[in-house]
Amino acid sequence: MLSYAIIFFIIALVAALFGFGGLAGASAGIAQILFFVFLVLFVLSLIFGRRARL
């Protein structure tokens, strides 16, 4: 999921470089949402992934 966020961020940078403001804003928004979803899932996996084995 982090790779998708990075890909959308790169698309946003390229679109902004060429002057496509709407596309750059949309891609940056998608990248931001994907990054925060990745961050939440990562923290949850750290919290719940390490259970003691008996």
Q: What is the residue extent of each domain of the chain?
A: 2-49
Residue 23 neighbours by CB under 8 Å, 6+ apart: 11, 12, 15
Check whether 52 has a pLDDT greater than 80.
no
Mean pLDDT value across residues 31-51: 86
| Residue at token pair 């998708």 | 4
Structure confidence by residue, pLDDT tens digits, 9-23: 888 888 888 888 788
Global confidence as pTM: 0.65
**Amino acid at residue number 16:** A
Structure confidence by residue, pLDDT tens digits, 25-39: 888 888 888 889 999
- Helix/strand/coil percent split, the chain, to 5: 85, 0, 15
